[in-house]
């Protein structure tokens, strides 16, 4: 389900308080946005978790948060298997992770969009980040 991301020399894990993810700007730069919402946060305006199933986006579940697609650059992402072991998956430099930018009352959060896991990785987890190829690479 993507519990961690490495971007350049930095690693970010969803359970970290105030974890932020890099989001590509149209200019080619990067901005940093808070990654989802943790259960231990004070009651807030956003859904718990750091992931958004593609099927739930398509069904309209995310409409109250005015969802917009964004791209999350990463060198690797981490999935934990059913035994709690971490597996880091390398990304080709032409690939990015699909994100969902949620907004509510002048605040933004980013969620990793998930899909079913490719068969060759199904032994790790049943959800996988949606990967997108950059068109300008």
Residue 5, token pair as written in the block? 């991301």
Of the candidates 81, 49, 80, the residue with the CA atom closest to the CA atom of residue 65: 49
- Count: domains in the chain: 1
Q: Which residue has the tokens 């933004």?
A: 108
Residues 90-104 pLDDT 10s: 999 999 999 999 999
Q: Is residue 109 within 8 Å of 102, Cβ to Cβ?
A: yes
Rounded CA-CA distance 84/76 in Å is 18
Per DSSP bridges, beta strands 86-90 and 95-104 are unpaired
Q: Which residues of 6-36 are buried (b: 16+ CB within 10 A; e: fewer)?
A: bbeeeebebeeeebebbbbeeeeebeebbbb
**pLDDT tens figures, 47-81:** 999 999 999 999 999 999 999 999 999 999 999 98
Q: Which residue range is the domain that position 115 belongs to? A: 4-133
Tokens 């739930």, residue located = 56
We report the CATH number of the domain holding residue 38 as 3.90.1680.10
pLDDT at position 119 is 84
CA–CA gap between residue 129 and residue 15 (Å, rounded): 17
Residues 103-129: tens digit of each pLDDT = 998 899 999 999 998 888 888 888 899
* 119-128: burial string, b at 16+ Cβ within 10 Å, e else: eeeeebbebb
């Amino acid at each position: 389900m993507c519990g961690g991301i490495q971007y350049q020399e930095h690693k970010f894990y969803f359970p970290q308080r105030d974890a932020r993810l890099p989001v590509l700007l149209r200019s080619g730069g990067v901005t940093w946005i808070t990654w989802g919402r943790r259960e231990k946060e004070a009651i807030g305006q956003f859904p718990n978790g750091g992931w958004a199933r593609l099927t739930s986006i398509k069904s309209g579940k995310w409409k109250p948060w005015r969802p917009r697609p964004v791209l999350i650059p990463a060198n690797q992402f981490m999935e934990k298997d059913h035994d709690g072991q971490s597996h880091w998956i390398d990304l080709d430099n032409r690939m990015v992770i699909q994100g969902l930018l949620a907004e509510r009352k002048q605040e933004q959060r980013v969620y990793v969009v998930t899909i079913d896991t490719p068969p060759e990785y199904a032994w790790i987890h049943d959800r996988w980040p949606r990967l997108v190829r950059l068109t300008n690479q």
